[in-house]
Chain A
Amino acid sequence: MTTVTHTAAPSTGGRAARWAGRNAAVVLVFAVTAILVVGASFMSETFRDPENFVDILRQSIPLALATIGQLFVMLAGGTDMSVGMIARVVGLGAAVAMTTAGLPPYLVLPLGLAVGALLGLINGAIVARFSAQPFILTLGTMGILYGVALAISDGPTKLVPVSVLQIYEMSIWSIPLCVLAMGVVWLIAWWALARSHFGRATYAVGGSPVVARLAGLNSNRVIILCYVLSGLTSAAAGLFLLARSGVGNPTMAIGLEFQSIVAAAIGGISLYGGRGSILGAFGAVLLVTVISNLFDLFQFSAYWQNLALGVIVVLAVAIHKSEKPR
Protein backbone atom coordinates (compact mmCIF):
# COMPACT_ATOMS: atom_id res chain seq x y z
CA MET A 1 0.00 0.00 0.00
CA THR A 2 0.95 3.62 -0.15
CA THR A 3 3.02 5.04 2.64
CA VAL A 4 2.00 8.47 3.75
CA THR A 5 4.18 10.85 5.77
CA HIS A 6 1.18 11.74 7.87
CA THR A 7 0.91 8.45 9.76
CA ALA A 8 2.39 8.68 13.25
CA ALA A 9 5.35 6.42 13.83
CA PRO A 10 5.08 4.34 16.98
CA SER A 11 7.67 5.21 19.58
CA THR A 12 8.45 4.53 23.20
CA GLY A 13 8.97 7.76 25.10
CA GLY A 14 8.33 11.43 24.46
CA ARG A 15 5.72 10.58 21.90
CA ALA A 16 3.48 13.46 22.91
CA ALA A 17 6.37 15.92 22.77
CA ARG A 18 7.38 14.76 19.34
CA TRP A 19 3.80 14.95 18.14
CA ALA A 20 3.62 18.52 19.43
CA GLY A 21 6.86 19.36 17.66
CA ARG A 22 5.54 18.07 14.37
CA ASN A 23 2.15 19.70 14.80
CA ALA A 24 3.31 23.10 16.07
CA ALA A 25 0.50 24.88 14.20
CA VAL A 26 -2.18 22.75 15.85
CA VAL A 27 -0.72 23.20 19.33
CA LEU A 28 -0.40 26.95 18.76
CA VAL A 29 -4.00 27.30 17.61
CA PHE A 30 -5.36 25.46 20.63
CA ALA A 31 -3.06 27.35 23.00
CA VAL A 32 -4.19 30.74 21.68
CA THR A 33 -7.84 29.65 21.81
CA ALA A 34 -7.43 28.40 25.40
CA ILE A 35 -5.71 31.63 26.48
CA LEU A 36 -8.50 33.71 24.91
CA VAL A 37 -11.24 31.59 26.50
CA VAL A 38 -9.66 31.59 29.98
CA GLY A 39 -8.82 35.29 29.83
CA ALA A 40 -12.27 36.29 28.62
CA SER A 41 -13.92 34.06 31.24
CA PHE A 42 -12.12 35.97 33.98
CA MET A 43 -13.07 39.31 32.48
CA SER A 44 -16.67 38.75 31.49
CA GLU A 45 -19.50 37.06 33.31
CA THR A 46 -21.51 36.84 30.11
CA PHE A 47 -18.69 35.01 28.36
CA ARG A 48 -18.29 32.30 31.02
CA ASP A 49 -22.01 31.60 30.97
CA PRO A 50 -22.32 27.97 29.71
CA GLU A 51 -25.03 29.17 27.36
CA ASN A 52 -22.50 31.38 25.64
CA PHE A 53 -20.17 28.43 25.08
CA VAL A 54 -23.02 26.49 23.49
CA ASP A 55 -23.74 29.56 21.41
CA ILE A 56 -20.13 29.80 20.24
CA LEU A 57 -20.34 26.18 19.07
CA ARG A 58 -23.56 26.96 17.23
CA GLN A 59 -22.10 30.12 15.68
CA SER A 60 -19.16 28.08 14.41
CA ILE A 61 -21.28 25.71 12.29
CA PRO A 62 -21.35 27.49 8.90
CA LEU A 63 -17.59 28.13 9.00
CA ALA A 64 -16.98 24.59 10.30
CA LEU A 65 -18.90 23.04 7.41
CA ALA A 66 -17.22 25.19 4.77
CA THR A 67 -13.79 24.57 6.31
CA ILE A 68 -14.22 20.79 6.31
CA GLY A 69 -14.98 20.81 2.59
CA GLN A 70 -12.19 23.29 1.89
CA LEU A 71 -9.78 21.13 3.89
CA PHE A 72 -10.30 18.07 1.71
CA VAL A 73 -9.81 20.12 -1.46
CA MET A 74 -6.68 21.77 -0.05
CA LEU A 75 -5.21 18.47 1.13
CA ALA A 76 -5.67 17.13 -2.40
CA GLY A 77 -3.62 20.10 -3.62
CA GLY A 78 -6.41 22.47 -4.72
CA THR A 79 -8.38 25.47 -3.55
CA ASP A 80 -12.14 25.95 -3.70
CA MET A 81 -13.04 29.60 -4.12
CA SER A 82 -16.68 28.80 -4.87
CA VAL A 83 -17.76 27.56 -1.40
CA GLY A 84 -19.33 30.88 -0.38
CA MET A 85 -21.31 31.23 -3.59
CA ILE A 86 -22.41 27.56 -3.54
CA ALA A 87 -23.74 28.21 -0.02
CA ARG A 88 -25.48 31.37 -1.22
CA VAL A 89 -27.05 29.82 -4.33
CA VAL A 90 -28.27 26.77 -2.40
CA GLY A 91 -29.54 28.77 0.60
CA LEU A 92 -31.23 31.38 -1.54
CA GLY A 93 -32.57 28.85 -4.02
CA ALA A 94 -34.02 26.72 -1.21
CA ALA A 95 -35.66 29.81 0.31
CA VAL A 96 -37.30 30.72 -3.00
CA ALA A 97 -38.35 27.11 -3.61
CA MET A 98 -40.03 26.94 -0.21
CA THR A 99 -41.66 30.38 -0.17
CA THR A 100 -42.48 31.39 -3.75
CA ALA A 101 -42.84 27.88 -5.19
CA GLY A 102 -44.26 26.48 -1.93
CA LEU A 103 -42.36 23.19 -2.11
CA PRO A 104 -42.15 21.19 1.14
CA PRO A 105 -38.86 21.39 3.14
CA TYR A 106 -38.37 17.61 3.20
CA LEU A 107 -38.03 17.78 -0.58
CA VAL A 108 -36.12 21.07 -0.87
CA LEU A 109 -33.40 20.44 1.73
CA PRO A 110 -32.08 17.13 0.27
CA LEU A 111 -32.36 18.68 -3.19
CA GLY A 112 -30.27 21.64 -2.01
CA LEU A 113 -27.54 19.29 -0.79
CA ALA A 114 -27.68 17.45 -4.12
CA VAL A 115 -27.29 20.72 -6.03
CA GLY A 116 -24.25 21.57 -3.91
CA ALA A 117 -22.71 18.17 -4.60
CA LEU A 118 -23.43 18.58 -8.31
CA LEU A 119 -21.74 22.00 -8.41
CA GLY A 120 -18.77 20.44 -6.65
CA LEU A 121 -18.77 17.63 -9.20
CA ILE A 122 -18.59 20.18 -12.04
CA ASN A 123 -15.65 21.95 -10.34
CA GLY A 124 -13.89 18.67 -9.68
CA ALA A 125 -14.49 17.21 -13.12
CA ILE A 126 -13.05 20.26 -14.87
CA VAL A 127 -10.05 20.45 -12.52
CA ALA A 128 -9.32 16.72 -12.91
CA ARG A 129 -10.03 16.21 -16.61
CA PHE A 130 -8.53 19.40 -17.99
CA SER A 131 -5.84 19.91 -15.34
CA ALA A 132 -7.28 23.40 -14.80
CA GLN A 133 -5.68 25.68 -12.21
CA PRO A 134 -8.06 25.09 -9.26
CA PHE A 135 -7.88 28.65 -7.94
CA ILE A 136 -8.66 30.27 -11.29
CA LEU A 137 -11.34 27.75 -12.25
CA THR A 138 -13.23 27.95 -8.95
CA LEU A 139 -12.88 31.74 -9.05
CA GLY A 140 -14.73 31.54 -12.37
CA THR A 141 -17.40 29.29 -10.88
CA MET A 142 -17.70 31.75 -8.01
CA GLY A 143 -18.39 34.56 -10.50
CA ILE A 144 -20.99 32.52 -12.37
CA LEU A 145 -22.77 31.50 -9.16
CA TYR A 146 -22.71 35.11 -7.95
CA GLY A 147 -24.71 35.97 -11.06
CA VAL A 148 -27.00 32.97 -10.57
CA ALA A 149 -27.75 34.08 -7.00
CA LEU A 150 -28.67 37.55 -8.27
CA ALA A 151 -30.93 35.97 -10.87
CA ILE A 152 -32.66 33.82 -8.23
CA SER A 153 -33.54 36.78 -6.05
CA ASP A 154 -32.34 40.37 -5.83
CA GLY A 155 -33.93 40.98 -2.44
CA PRO A 156 -34.66 39.12 0.81
CA THR A 157 -37.26 36.37 0.44
CA LYS A 158 -40.29 35.73 2.65
CA LEU A 159 -39.97 33.75 5.89
CA VAL A 160 -39.32 30.03 5.32
CA PRO A 161 -41.55 27.37 7.01
CA VAL A 162 -41.16 27.01 10.78
CA SER A 163 -39.91 23.44 10.42
CA VAL A 164 -36.75 24.77 8.75
CA LEU A 165 -36.13 27.16 11.63
CA GLN A 166 -36.23 24.11 13.90
CA ILE A 167 -32.91 22.97 12.42
CA TYR A 168 -31.38 25.90 14.27
CA GLU A 169 -33.64 25.96 17.33
CA MET A 170 -34.25 22.33 18.30
CA SER A 171 -32.32 21.09 21.30
CA ILE A 172 -32.03 18.20 23.75
CA TRP A 173 -31.20 19.01 27.40
CA SER A 174 -30.44 22.58 26.35
CA ILE A 175 -27.81 21.40 23.85
CA PRO A 176 -28.87 22.31 20.31
CA LEU A 177 -29.27 19.33 18.02
CA CYS A 178 -27.34 21.12 15.31
CA VAL A 179 -24.29 21.34 17.59
CA LEU A 180 -24.49 17.59 18.25
CA ALA A 181 -24.89 16.94 14.52
CA MET A 182 -21.86 19.16 13.82
CA GLY A 183 -19.88 17.09 16.34
CA VAL A 184 -20.81 13.96 14.43
CA VAL A 185 -19.77 15.59 11.14
CA TRP A 186 -16.37 16.50 12.65
CA LEU A 187 -15.96 12.88 13.80
CA ILE A 188 -16.90 11.54 10.37
CA ALA A 189 -14.47 13.95 8.72
CA TRP A 190 -11.75 12.85 11.13
CA TRP A 191 -12.46 9.21 10.41
CA ALA A 192 -12.57 9.75 6.65
CA LEU A 193 -9.25 11.59 6.70
CA ALA A 194 -7.27 9.61 9.23
CA ARG A 195 -8.68 6.11 8.97
CA SER A 196 -10.27 5.54 5.57
CA HIS A 197 -8.70 4.56 2.28
CA PHE A 198 -10.07 7.75 0.74
CA GLY A 199 -8.29 9.85 3.38
CA ARG A 200 -4.95 8.18 2.69
CA ALA A 201 -5.48 8.69 -1.02
CA THR A 202 -6.28 12.38 -0.49
CA TYR A 203 -3.00 12.95 1.37
CA ALA A 204 -1.11 11.01 -1.28
CA VAL A 205 -2.62 12.87 -4.23
CA GLY A 206 -1.97 16.26 -2.64
CA GLY A 207 1.43 15.42 -1.20
CA SER A 208 2.96 13.77 -4.22
CA PRO A 209 0.81 13.36 -7.33
CA VAL A 210 3.47 11.39 -9.21
CA VAL A 211 3.96 8.83 -6.46
CA ALA A 212 0.19 8.57 -6.04
CA ARG A 213 -0.17 7.75 -9.72
CA LEU A 214 2.69 5.26 -9.67
CA ALA A 215 1.08 3.60 -6.66
CA GLY A 216 -1.96 2.97 -8.79
CA LEU A 217 -4.27 5.52 -7.24
CA ASN A 218 -6.96 7.03 -9.41
CA SER A 219 -5.98 10.67 -8.70
CA ASN A 220 -8.80 12.12 -10.75
CA ARG A 221 -11.43 10.23 -8.79
CA VAL A 222 -9.95 11.39 -5.48
CA ILE A 223 -9.81 15.01 -6.65
CA ILE A 224 -13.38 14.92 -7.97
CA LEU A 225 -14.64 13.38 -4.73
CA CYS A 226 -12.94 16.14 -2.70
CA TYR A 227 -14.70 18.85 -4.70
CA VAL A 228 -18.02 16.99 -4.39
CA LEU A 229 -17.51 16.91 -0.60
CA SER A 230 -16.71 20.61 -0.64
CA GLY A 231 -19.87 21.37 -2.62
CA LEU A 232 -21.91 19.24 -0.24
CA THR A 233 -20.63 20.89 2.94
CA SER A 234 -20.97 24.35 1.39
CA ALA A 235 -24.59 23.59 0.52
CA ALA A 236 -25.14 22.40 4.10
CA ALA A 237 -23.60 25.67 5.36
CA GLY A 238 -25.97 27.64 3.11
CA LEU A 239 -29.01 25.71 4.36
CA PHE A 240 -27.90 26.20 7.97
CA LEU A 241 -27.51 29.95 7.41
CA LEU A 242 -31.04 29.92 5.99
CA ALA A 243 -32.37 28.08 9.06
CA ARG A 244 -30.63 30.64 11.27
CA SER A 245 -31.95 33.80 9.64
CA GLY A 246 -35.27 32.41 8.40
CA VAL A 247 -35.11 34.40 5.16
CA GLY A 248 -33.09 33.89 2.03
CA ASN A 249 -30.76 36.85 1.61
CA PRO A 250 -28.84 37.70 -1.59
CA THR A 251 -25.84 38.71 0.55
CA MET A 252 -25.70 35.52 2.63
CA ALA A 253 -22.46 33.56 3.09
CA ILE A 254 -20.39 36.56 2.03
CA GLY A 255 -16.67 35.89 2.28
CA LEU A 256 -17.16 32.28 3.37
CA GLU A 257 -14.59 31.06 0.83
CA PHE A 258 -11.93 33.38 2.25
CA GLN A 259 -12.82 32.58 5.86
CA SER A 260 -12.62 28.85 5.19
CA ILE A 261 -9.23 29.15 3.48
CA VAL A 262 -7.98 31.34 6.33
CA ALA A 263 -9.29 28.90 8.95
CA ALA A 264 -7.67 25.97 7.18
CA ALA A 265 -4.39 27.89 6.80
CA ILE A 266 -4.36 28.93 10.48
CA GLY A 267 -5.08 25.29 11.37
CA GLY A 268 -1.89 24.20 9.66
CA ILE A 269 -3.30 22.79 6.42
CA SER A 270 -0.57 23.21 3.83
CA LEU A 271 -1.60 25.32 0.85
CA TYR A 272 0.51 23.05 -1.31
CA GLY A 273 -1.59 20.06 -0.30
CA GLY A 274 -0.80 16.83 1.48
CA ARG A 275 -0.21 18.14 4.99
CA GLY A 276 -2.57 19.01 7.79
CA SER A 277 -5.10 17.47 10.12
CA ILE A 278 -8.75 17.72 11.06
CA LEU A 279 -7.74 18.63 14.61
CA GLY A 280 -5.94 21.78 13.45
CA ALA A 281 -8.90 22.87 11.35
CA PHE A 282 -11.23 22.26 14.30
CA GLY A 283 -9.04 24.44 16.53
CA ALA A 284 -8.83 27.18 13.90
CA VAL A 285 -12.61 27.26 13.42
CA LEU A 286 -13.05 27.52 17.21
CA LEU A 287 -10.43 30.28 17.38
CA VAL A 288 -12.03 32.38 14.65
CA THR A 289 -15.50 31.95 16.19
CA VAL A 290 -14.29 32.78 19.72
CA ILE A 291 -12.62 35.92 18.39
CA SER A 292 -15.78 37.12 16.66
CA ASN A 293 -17.83 36.25 19.77
CA LEU A 294 -15.45 38.34 21.88
CA PHE A 295 -15.71 41.24 19.43
CA ASP A 296 -19.48 41.21 19.81
CA LEU A 297 -19.35 40.74 23.58
CA PHE A 298 -17.00 43.62 24.26
CA GLN A 299 -18.80 45.70 21.65
CA PHE A 300 -15.61 46.18 19.76
CA SER A 301 -16.38 48.72 17.03
CA ALA A 302 -17.41 46.94 13.86
CA TYR A 303 -15.08 49.24 11.95
CA TRP A 304 -12.06 47.85 13.81
CA GLN A 305 -13.12 44.19 13.69
CA ASN A 306 -11.89 43.55 10.16
CA LEU A 307 -8.57 45.24 10.84
CA ALA A 308 -8.06 43.17 14.00
CA LEU A 309 -9.02 39.96 12.19
CA GLY A 310 -6.64 40.81 9.35
CA VAL A 311 -3.75 41.44 11.73
CA ILE A 312 -4.45 38.11 13.46
CA VAL A 313 -4.41 36.33 10.09
CA VAL A 314 -1.13 37.99 9.08
CA LEU A 315 0.48 37.01 12.38
CA ALA A 316 -0.89 33.48 12.09
CA VAL A 317 0.49 32.90 8.60
CA ALA A 318 3.78 34.61 9.50
CA ILE A 319 4.36 32.58 12.66
CA HIS A 320 4.47 29.11 11.21
CA LYS A 321 7.01 28.86 8.48
CA SER A 322 5.83 26.78 5.56
CA GLU A 323 7.54 23.43 5.36
CA LYS A 324 8.01 23.00 1.63
CA PRO A 325 10.45 25.18 -0.31
CA ARG A 326 8.87 26.83 -3.29
Chain B
Amino acid sequence: MSEAAVIAQSSATRAGAVRLLDWLSRYAAFSAVLLVLLVAAFIAPAFFTAGNLRAVLIQSAILGIVVIGQTTALIARGLDMSVAAVMTFAAVLVAQSTATGNFGLLIFQLVVLTGLVGAANSLLVTWRRVPPFVATFAMLIVVDGARLAYTHGQSAGSAPAWLKFLGSGAIAGIPIPVVIWAVLLVVAYVCLNRTTWGRWLYAVGANRGAARHTGVAVDAVVVSTFFLTAISGTLAGILLSG
Protein backbone atom coordinates (compact mmCIF):
# COMPACT_ATOMS: atom_id res chain seq x y z
CA MET B 1 0.00 0.00 0.00
CA SER B 2 1.42 3.37 -0.93
CA GLU B 3 2.05 6.10 1.60
CA ALA B 4 -0.57 8.34 0.09
CA ALA B 5 -3.24 5.69 0.48
CA VAL B 6 -2.34 5.27 4.15
CA ILE B 7 -2.63 8.99 4.74
CA ALA B 8 -5.95 9.18 2.90
CA GLN B 9 -7.30 6.34 4.96
CA SER B 10 -6.56 7.97 8.29
CA SER B 11 -9.66 9.32 9.94
CA ALA B 12 -9.94 12.25 12.30
CA THR B 13 -9.78 10.04 15.39
CA ARG B 14 -6.74 8.29 14.03
CA ALA B 15 -5.05 11.61 13.45
CA GLY B 16 -5.78 12.42 17.07
CA ALA B 17 -4.19 9.17 18.26
CA VAL B 18 -1.17 9.79 16.06
CA ARG B 19 -0.83 13.30 17.44
CA LEU B 20 -0.99 11.94 20.98
CA LEU B 21 1.66 9.33 20.19
CA ASP B 22 3.74 12.05 18.56
CA TRP B 23 3.46 14.21 21.64
CA LEU B 24 4.28 11.29 23.94
CA SER B 25 7.40 10.34 22.01
CA ARG B 26 8.56 13.94 21.79
CA TYR B 27 8.40 14.18 25.57
CA ALA B 28 9.68 10.62 26.02
CA ALA B 29 11.03 11.22 29.50
CA PHE B 30 7.68 12.50 30.79
CA SER B 31 5.82 9.68 29.04
CA ALA B 32 8.08 7.15 30.76
CA VAL B 33 7.42 8.74 34.16
CA LEU B 34 3.68 8.58 33.46
CA LEU B 35 3.98 4.93 32.47
CA VAL B 36 5.98 4.04 35.59
CA LEU B 37 3.48 5.87 37.81
CA LEU B 38 0.58 4.02 36.14
CA VAL B 39 2.27 0.64 36.59
CA ALA B 40 3.13 1.55 40.19
CA ALA B 41 -0.52 2.39 40.87
CA PHE B 42 -1.44 -1.19 40.02
CA ILE B 43 1.42 -3.27 41.36
CA ALA B 44 2.69 -1.15 44.27
CA PRO B 45 -0.04 1.13 45.68
CA ALA B 46 2.23 1.82 48.68
CA PHE B 47 4.27 3.97 46.29
CA PHE B 48 1.66 6.71 46.61
CA THR B 49 1.92 7.15 50.37
CA ALA B 50 2.95 10.66 51.46
CA GLY B 51 6.18 9.47 53.10
CA ASN B 52 7.37 7.56 50.05
CA LEU B 53 6.52 10.32 47.62
CA ARG B 54 8.48 12.71 49.80
CA ALA B 55 11.54 10.42 49.81
CA VAL B 56 11.32 9.97 46.04
CA LEU B 57 11.03 13.73 45.53
CA ILE B 58 14.09 14.44 47.71
CA GLN B 59 16.10 11.82 45.84
CA SER B 60 15.10 13.19 42.47
CA ALA B 61 15.86 16.73 43.65
CA ILE B 62 19.45 15.82 44.52
CA LEU B 63 19.91 13.98 41.23
CA GLY B 64 18.11 16.80 39.44
CA ILE B 65 20.54 19.41 40.74
CA VAL B 66 23.53 17.41 39.44
CA VAL B 67 21.74 16.95 36.12
CA ILE B 68 21.33 20.72 35.70
CA GLY B 69 25.11 21.10 35.78
CA GLN B 70 25.65 18.06 33.57
CA THR B 71 23.10 19.38 31.06
CA THR B 72 25.14 22.51 30.43
CA ALA B 73 28.24 20.36 29.86
CA LEU B 74 26.38 18.06 27.46
CA ILE B 75 24.88 20.96 25.48
CA ALA B 76 28.43 22.21 24.83
CA ARG B 77 29.37 18.67 23.70
CA GLY B 78 31.22 18.03 26.94
CA LEU B 79 30.71 15.53 29.70
CA ASP B 80 31.72 15.50 33.35
CA MET B 81 32.47 12.08 34.80
CA SER B 82 33.88 13.55 38.00
CA VAL B 83 30.65 14.92 39.51
CA ALA B 84 29.91 11.71 41.39
CA ALA B 85 33.27 11.86 43.14
CA VAL B 86 32.84 15.58 43.92
CA MET B 87 29.41 14.84 45.35
CA THR B 88 30.66 12.11 47.71
CA PHE B 89 33.72 14.11 48.76
CA ALA B 90 31.54 17.13 49.57
CA ALA B 91 29.18 14.96 51.59
CA VAL B 92 32.14 13.49 53.52
CA LEU B 93 33.58 16.95 54.21
CA VAL B 94 30.23 18.14 55.58
CA ALA B 95 29.84 15.08 57.79
CA GLN B 96 33.36 15.46 59.19
CA SER B 97 32.97 19.15 59.91
CA THR B 98 30.29 18.34 62.46
CA ALA B 99 32.85 16.43 64.53
CA THR B 100 35.07 19.52 64.70
CA GLY B 101 32.29 22.10 64.50
CA ASN B 102 34.51 24.31 62.37
CA PHE B 103 32.17 25.56 59.67
CA GLY B 104 34.51 28.27 58.42
CA LEU B 105 36.96 25.53 57.54
CA LEU B 106 34.17 23.52 55.91
CA ILE B 107 33.19 26.36 53.60
CA PHE B 108 36.86 26.88 52.74
CA GLN B 109 37.25 23.15 51.98
CA LEU B 110 34.14 23.08 49.80
CA VAL B 111 35.23 26.14 47.83
CA VAL B 112 38.72 24.68 47.31
CA LEU B 113 37.30 21.32 46.23
CA THR B 114 34.89 22.87 43.74
CA GLY B 115 37.46 25.32 42.43
CA LEU B 116 40.24 22.79 42.02
CA VAL B 117 38.12 20.20 40.22
CA GLY B 118 36.48 22.81 37.98
CA ALA B 119 39.84 24.39 37.16
CA ALA B 120 41.59 21.08 36.53
CA ASN B 121 38.84 19.83 34.20
CA SER B 122 38.78 23.18 32.38
CA LEU B 123 42.55 23.31 31.94
CA LEU B 124 42.74 19.73 30.68
CA VAL B 125 39.95 20.23 28.18
CA THR B 126 40.60 23.77 26.91
CA TRP B 127 44.38 24.13 27.26
CA ARG B 128 45.61 20.57 26.79
CA ARG B 129 42.75 19.59 24.41
CA VAL B 130 42.14 16.33 26.26
CA PRO B 131 38.75 14.82 25.33
CA PRO B 132 36.25 15.66 28.14
CA PHE B 133 35.56 11.99 28.82
CA VAL B 134 39.22 11.22 29.50
CA ALA B 135 39.98 14.42 31.38
CA THR B 136 37.03 14.22 33.73
CA PHE B 137 37.50 10.49 34.17
CA ALA B 138 41.09 11.08 35.27
CA MET B 139 39.79 13.69 37.71
CA LEU B 140 37.24 11.15 38.96
CA ILE B 141 40.11 8.86 40.00
CA VAL B 142 41.98 11.78 41.60
CA VAL B 143 39.01 13.08 43.61
CA ASP B 144 37.95 9.61 44.71
CA GLY B 145 41.55 8.86 45.69
CA ALA B 146 41.78 12.15 47.57
CA ARG B 147 38.63 11.29 49.48
CA LEU B 148 40.03 7.90 50.46
CA ALA B 149 43.33 9.46 51.50
CA TYR B 150 41.47 12.13 53.51
CA THR B 151 39.07 9.82 55.33
CA HIS B 152 41.15 6.62 55.40
CA GLY B 153 38.04 4.82 54.32
CA GLN B 154 36.00 5.68 57.39
CA SER B 155 33.05 7.99 57.58
CA ALA B 156 32.58 9.94 60.73
CA GLY B 157 30.16 12.38 62.32
CA SER B 158 26.55 13.18 61.61
CA ALA B 159 24.94 16.15 59.99
CA PRO B 160 24.46 19.35 62.05
CA ALA B 161 20.97 20.67 62.73
CA TRP B 162 20.99 23.42 60.07
CA LEU B 163 22.05 20.88 57.49
CA LYS B 164 19.41 18.38 58.58
CA PHE B 165 16.90 21.17 58.03
CA LEU B 166 18.37 21.88 54.59
CA GLY B 167 18.40 18.22 53.63
CA SER B 168 15.08 17.06 55.01
CA GLY B 169 13.21 20.14 56.24
CA ALA B 170 10.21 21.59 54.47
CA ILE B 171 8.73 24.95 53.51
CA ALA B 172 4.92 24.85 53.37
CA GLY B 173 5.05 21.08 53.16
CA ILE B 174 7.48 20.99 50.24
CA PRO B 175 10.88 19.45 51.06
CA ILE B 176 13.65 22.08 50.88
CA PRO B 177 15.83 20.18 48.36
CA VAL B 178 12.82 20.19 46.04
CA VAL B 179 12.42 23.95 46.52
CA ILE B 180 16.13 24.46 45.73
CA TRP B 181 15.83 22.21 42.70
CA ALA B 182 12.79 24.10 41.42
CA VAL B 183 14.49 27.47 41.86
CA LEU B 184 17.63 26.23 40.08
CA LEU B 185 15.53 24.78 37.26
CA VAL B 186 13.90 28.16 36.67
CA VAL B 187 17.27 29.92 36.82
CA ALA B 188 18.80 27.38 34.43
CA TYR B 189 15.84 27.67 32.06
CA VAL B 190 16.15 31.45 31.94
CA CYS B 191 19.94 31.33 31.56
CA LEU B 192 19.79 28.78 28.76
CA ASN B 193 17.01 30.45 26.81
CA ARG B 194 17.20 34.16 27.59
CA THR B 195 20.86 35.07 28.04
CA THR B 196 23.85 35.53 25.74
CA TRP B 197 25.64 32.79 27.66
CA GLY B 198 22.83 30.37 26.84
CA ARG B 199 22.99 31.23 23.13
CA TRP B 200 26.76 30.79 23.18
CA LEU B 201 26.43 27.43 24.92
CA TYR B 202 24.15 26.07 22.19
CA ALA B 203 26.37 27.59 19.52
CA VAL B 204 29.47 25.90 20.93
CA GLY B 205 27.66 22.59 21.07
CA ALA B 206 26.20 22.87 17.58
CA ASN B 207 29.31 23.99 15.72
CA ARG B 208 32.44 24.91 17.58
CA GLY B 209 34.27 26.29 14.55
CA ALA B 210 31.38 28.47 13.43
CA ALA B 211 30.87 29.68 16.99
CA ARG B 212 34.50 30.74 17.21
CA HIS B 213 34.30 32.62 13.91
CA THR B 214 31.22 34.52 15.02
CA GLY B 215 33.07 35.79 18.07
CA VAL B 216 31.91 33.38 20.75
CA ALA B 217 34.45 32.95 23.54
CA VAL B 218 34.39 29.19 23.08
CA ASP B 219 36.92 28.27 25.75
CA ALA B 220 35.27 30.56 28.32
CA VAL B 221 31.93 28.86 27.68
CA VAL B 222 33.50 25.40 28.08
CA VAL B 223 35.21 26.51 31.31
CA SER B 224 31.89 27.81 32.64
CA THR B 225 30.25 24.41 32.10
CA PHE B 226 32.95 22.57 34.06
CA PHE B 227 32.63 24.99 36.96
CA LEU B 228 28.84 24.57 36.86
CA THR B 229 29.12 20.79 37.02
CA ALA B 230 31.55 21.01 39.95
CA ILE B 231 29.30 23.49 41.79
CA SER B 232 26.20 21.38 41.20
CA GLY B 233 28.08 18.31 42.41
CA THR B 234 29.14 20.05 45.63
CA LEU B 235 25.65 21.39 46.22
CA ALA B 236 24.11 17.94 45.74
CA GLY B 237 26.73 16.49 48.10
CA ILE B 238 25.79 19.01 50.80
CA LEU B 239 22.10 18.14 50.45
CA LEU B 240 22.91 14.44 50.36
CA SER B 241 24.57 14.51 53.76
CA GLY B 242 21.68 16.47 55.30
Contacts and interface: CB of A to CB of B under 8 A. Distances in A.
Contacts of A258: 137, 141
B129 interface: yes
Interface in B138-178: 138-146, 148-149, 152-153
A303 B152 contact: yes
A63 interface: no
Given A317-B128, A317-B138, A321-B128, A307 B146 contact: yes
Contacts of A307: 142, 145-146, 148-149
B133 interface: yes
Contacts of B144: 306, 310
Question: Which secondary structure dominates chain A's binding surface?
Answer: helix
Given A322-B129, A326-B129, A311 B124 contact: no
A111 interface: no
A30 interface: no
B54 interface: no
Interface in B86-141: 120, 123-124, 128-131, 133-135, 137-141
Contact of B141 (A265, A309, A321): A309
Contact of B129 (A79, A135, A321): A321
B206 to A, nearest CB: 13
Contacts of B146: 307, 310
A15 B234 CA distance: 51
Which residue of A304, A308, A310, A321 has the most chain B CB atoms within 10 A of its CB atom?
A310
Interface in A238-284: 258, 261-262, 265, 271-272
A147 to B, nearest CB: 18
Contact of A318 (B77, B124, B141, B208): B124
Interface residues of A, number: 26
A317 B134 CA distance: 8
A152 interface: no
A222 B77 CA distance: 27
A188 B128 CA distance: 34
Interface string A98-116: 0000000000000000000
Contacts of A317: 124, 128, 130, 134-135, 138
Contacts of B128: 317-318, 321-322
A303 B149 contact: yes
A306 B145 CA distance: 5
Interface string A38-50: 0000000000000
Interface string A289-326: 00000000000010111111111011001100110011
Interface in A48-71: none
A271 B134 contact: yes
B208 A322 contact: no
Interface string A75-90: 0000100000000000
A306 B131 CA distance: 22
Given A317-B135, A321-B129, A322-B129, A305 B145 contact: yes
Tell which of B137, B152, B208 has the most Cβ of chain A within 10 Å.
B137
A154 B144 CA distance: 26
Contacts of B131: 271-272, 322, 326
A313 B144 CA distance: 13
Given A321-B128, A321-B129, A313 B145 contact: no
Nearest to A323: B129
25 contacts: A258-B137, A262-B137, A262-B138, A265-B134, A271-B133, A304-B148, A304-B149, A306-B145, A307-B142, A307-B146, A307-B149, A309-B141, A309-B145, A310-B140, A310-B141, A310-B142, A310-B143, A310-B145, A310-B146, A318-B124, A318-B130, A321-B129, A322-B129, A322-B131, A326-B77
- The list of the 7 closest CB pairs from A to B, nearest first, reads A307-B145, A306-B145, A310-B141, A310-B142, A313-B138, A314-B138, A310-B145
Given A303-B148, A310-B142, 16 more contacts: A258-B137, A271-B131, A271-B133, A304-B145, A305-B145, A306-B148, A307-B145, A307-B149, A310-B144, A313-B138, A314-B138, A314-B142, A317-B124, A318-B130, A322-B128, A326-B131
Interface of A: 79, 135, 258, 261-262, 265, 271-272, 301, 303-311, 313-314, 317-318, 321-322, 325-326
